[in-house]
Amino acid sequence: MTRRNALRAAVTFGLLASTVGCSAEERPQELTVAGGESGGFYLEFATLLADLLQRERIADKARALTTGGSLENIQRVLAGEATFAVALADAAAQPAANSHSEGRLMALGKVYQNYVHCIVREDSTIRSFADLAGKTAAVGEVGSGTTLTAGRIIAAAGLAPQSAPPGRALKQVNLGLNQAIDALANGSVDVMIQSGGVPTAPIASAAQRFGMRLLDLSALIPATRAQSGFFYDRVLIPANSYGNAPAVWTVGVANLLLCRSDLADHVVRQTVELLVGKAQDLVPKSSAGVQFLSPETLINTAGVPLHPAAEASYRTLHG
């Protein structure tokens, strides 16, 4: 080989290597999934997803993050402190969640249906949401989507401090899932409002220790939608999900898997392929599997835009 040919070959090889290096889908060293509090459905799902991302070699390492819930998860993703966020659709649609143009929130899909649990002790005289006037409610941990949704339902019922008649406002205290259960058990709160899957394991466990009833919230859906948007649906918590508690209609909110708009397309695509092809590995053991990762609901993201790579993946997979 002449010197000129050798140089030409070297340049050609260098250009080829550069092209391959730029186009190759590099595997991330670590992916993180912002979940929720210990014992909750969010963290359970986030842990299963992180395990699957690592097992399927989407990343060298993946882990779930224990957090306060939807609002904190969204903040972490926008700040670049987490790759993915599990969050309620109403929280994801907040103006603050879309105020960073470079890190705008986008959805990979609706991963399951959340059910608002409004729980009183079985021996309580409270029979309807209207009976909560002047009472005390545990409404979720600071940073949780439960706090946002509960506040909107309370406002729709006319029991918010700024609109209720004197003495009739429902006092709201921020307690996480496990703290709220303890407070309901010892009577320091009259009701706990918690958003989660069915059944939520710590609530199911508590139902074995003391009797509880779930209040029907479906009558409040029209007013909640009118005041706060069309994120809220009428859904049924099946009978015996919590001890002997009968079936009850309640408020449902889509639970989304979110990321920033600048997340690499190949990571989004591979994650969507897991949501579709490995759905059975992402259903928590405690779940009844109600509206969980079904093909027809994955793309129903309640107005939160799908990441372009996710949208393309669904079109490829389902046409």
CA distances from 240 to 8, 20, 206, 291 (A): 75, 57, 13, 18
Residue 241, in any domain of the structure: yes
Does residue 182 share a domain with residue 149? yes
Residue 6, in any domain of the structure: no
Answer for the pair 5, 17: CB distance below 8 angstroms, yes or no: no
Does residue 239 share a domain with residue 293? no
| Domain end call among 204, 220, 253 | 253
226 C-beta neighbours (distance < 10 Å), count: 10
Rounded-to-integer distance, Cα 284 and Cα 298, Å? 17
Answer for the pair 41, 24: CB distance below 8 angstroms, yes or no: no
Residue 22, in any domain of the structure: no
HSE-CB of 121 using CA atoms within 13 angstroms:
16
Q: How many residues does the chain have?
A: 319
pLDDT tens for the chain, 319 residues long, are: 443 343 343 333 333 333 333 335 799 999 999 999 988 889 999 999 999 999 999 999 999 999 999 999 999 999 999 999 999 999 999 865 666 545 689 999 999 999 999 999 999 999 999 999 999 999 999 999 999 999 999 999 999 999 999 999 999 999 999 999 999 999 999 999 999 889 998 999 999 999 999 999 999 999 999 999 999 999 999 999 999 999 999 999 999 999 999 999 999 999 999 999 999 999 888 776 556 787 788 999 988 999 999 999 999 987 6
Rounded-to-integer distance, Cα 292 and Cα 11, Å? 53
| Domain end call among 226, 253, 280 | 253
**In CATH, what number is assigned to the domain containing residue 163?**
3.40.190.10
Query: What pLDDT digit, counting tens, does each position of 233-255 carry?
Result: 999 999 999 999 999 999 999 99
Rounded-to-integer distance, Cα 197 and Cα 189, Å? 22
The number of domains in the chain is 2
Rounded-to-integer distance, Cα 90 and Cα 258, Å? 13
Does residue 242 share a domain with residue 118? yes
Long-range contacts of 230-238, Cβ-Cβ distance < 8 Å, separation of 24 or more: 230/302, 230/303, 231/88, 231/89, 231/90, 231/93, 231/302, 231/303, 232/90, 232/149, 235/113, 235/115, 235/291, 237/115, 237/117, 237/198, 238/198, 238/288, 238/290
Does residue 243 share a domain with residue 162? yes
Rounded-to-integer distance, Cα 137 and Cα 140, Å? 9
Rounded-to-integer distance, Cα 70 and Cα 91, Å? 7
Does residue 244 share a domain with residue 118? yes
The amino acid at residue 206 is: A
Does residue 248 share a domain with residue 156? yes
Q: What is the extent of the structural domain holding 215?
A: 114-253
Distance of CA 313 to the CA centre of its chain: 21
Query: What pLDDT digit, counting tens, does each position of 298-309 carry?
Result: 999 988 999 999
